[in-house]
Chains A and B, each alone.
Chain A
């Protein structure tokens, strides 16, 4: 008797397999890993002389300076790596602040419903009606001093030079949460109507437990998607502030401030192209990867898009 070969039971591939198994998201993840690694260890590996101001201004890319040098003769590769640190730090921390605030806000609004919900959403609508740039500028202007004194008092005196980074993270995070709050609230409204939530309520579980145990895990997918899409948005916002001279202050550098410097020296006689090309390449590769990854995660989780 011939035994039928055991039917191979294949589990539906998880999110991770679905992402890694496809070309574009895999490239995106590799690029992001390289950029992160370069940002963390890159500046430490560079020789000490690369960090210093030197005499050869605007020298084009060569063996000694693979990315060329800038106005002050600093090595551009080192500057780009340093910029990666700050840009990623601002982008990721800003996105996390927006995640905490937006998720908490959206959860409470959506779950409580009724008047509280409509009031909270009205507040979001009002904040949406003020130009983003103005909110950010007013925040920076109004709270720069407070953050500096707070940092000095909190025993972070040595880091007062970094206060601009801190305030940028706070401001950008506190602007970007609006979209997150809207999305989370919308999801909560649909989840709330599910029977398992009614069951949990009937069993007498506390609101806090229902929120954290039952609703939050089901929201994680959409939150991860918007987290990946918020990081590039914050990095881009920071670059605009740097262009306006309000972002990262010299001698610190972010990709945005490097690009702003590069864009300001473009002229037909001497193009100094490397000042624009290398920071732009680093920033675009990162932003593209993050956007592609976000899209891919969304597609991987969308039952309609599965093939």
Chain B
């Protein structure tokens, strides 16, 4: 067990290293520099700027220097948001995105599992068809359409909830629903397929044959097995949701980290981009490790280590 976790941590570090390397050199390959503006800056000032942000010297030297700083927990200064460190920017915005994403995560998993099992139990009945049509719709309509529609209905017409912003619980409802919708639908589809397969298995027939109540058969015995594919999706889901979504955060005016994903690339802000990617990647790999461990607890047949 310990060796398994240790091995996974080593591979986590390897993946992180590769991702940092790829990101670093892709940013370097992009045309234009971080200080390119409409107005040309004098060469002397540009040189000083490059030196301040440690962007001078050959690429390899910059790269090893950056790695060294990252290992020491310093994600360096953002070149766009002058004089603010990437650590500081992320520390300010990630909790906001994390709160929103965490709630969306709960909505998506709980809702998806419920809708999926609900539809599977009513296989080929109208309720099943409706639920799956709804799920496909939620996947096919982009969130930037769902979001404004929710605002139009619940904020502007009914005036139940605020339009956007970030200053209380009521501000969380619409964005978290918008954020969760496509993932909820995806999990529901995953859950339905898996539940249908499990409901056809022998042990379910046995449970029914010995006279167990249908609800107990489905939600106690079958669910435990059918939930496994959903569990393996939870790792990427958590990484996606917790690091924030550009689209949802911009629609609802939420001061989260999502905007950095886009802006750091557009501004050639390599260190901010690096920070965002490192956080996402670390979260993803750690979540996948947790999911694997959870998998073992749920399914005793799986042995991840020998």
Contact = CB atoms under 8 A, between A and B. Distances in A.
A138 B30 contact: yes
A232 interface: yes
B140 A126 contact: no
Contacts of B141: 280, 283-284
B133 to A, nearest CB: 8
A203 interface: no
Interface stretch (B45-53, B64-72, B107-115, B273-281): B273-281
Contact of A259 (B139, B145, B280): B145
B203 interface: no
Interface stretch (B89-97, B205-213, B259-267): B259-267
A291 B186 CA distance: 12
B140 A137 contact: no
Contact of B151 (A131, A142, A266): A266
B194 interface: no
B256 to A, nearest CB: 14
A22 B303 CA distance: 42
Contact of B243 (A131, A239, A262): A131
A107 to B, nearest CB: 24
A250 B41 CA distance: 31
A134 interface: yes
B34 interface: no
A276 B151 CA distance: 14
Contacts of A262: 145
A268 B262 contact: no
Interface string A225-267: 0000000100010011001101000000000100110110011
Interface stretch (B18-26, B54-62, B79-87, B220-228): B18-26
Interface of A is mostly: helix
Interface residues of A, number: 39
Residue of A145, A263, A287 contacting most chain B CB atoms (<10 Å): A263
A12 interface: no
Interface string B138-150: 0111101101110
B173 interface: no
A30 to B, nearest CB: 17
Nearest to A127: B22
B290 to A, nearest CB: 15
Nearest to B132: A295
Contacts of B285: 129
A172 B40 CA distance: 34
B261 A134 contact: yes
B101 to A, nearest CB: 13
B156 interface: yes
A232 B137 CA distance: 12
B152 A268 contact: yes
Contact of B262 (A244, A263, A276): A244
Nearest to A287: B140
A129 B15 contact: yes
A137 B266 contact: yes
Residue of B136, B141, B265 contacting most chain A CB atoms (<10 Å): B265
Interface of A: 125-126, 128-131, 133-134, 137-139, 141-142, 145, 232, 236, 239-240, 243-244, 246, 256, 259-260, 262-263, 266-268, 271, 276, 280, 283-284, 287-288, 291-292, 304
20 contacts: A129-B15, A130-B22, A131-B261, A131-B280, A133-B262, A134-B280, A137-B262, A138-B30, A141-B31, A232-B140, A240-B142, A244-B262, A246-B262, A259-B144, A266-B151, A271-B152, A276-B148, A288-B136, A288-B140, A292-B136
Interface of B: 15, 18-19, 22-23, 26-27, 29-31, 136-137, 139-142, 144-145, 147-149, 151-152, 156-157, 197, 236, 240, 243, 246-247, 261-262, 265-266, 268, 273, 276-277, 280-281, 284-285
Given A129-B281, A130-B281, A276-B149, 15 more contacts: A126-B15, A129-B15, A131-B243, A133-B261, A137-B265, A240-B144, A259-B144, A260-B144, A263-B144, A263-B147, A266-B152, A276-B145, A283-B141, A291-B140, A304-B197
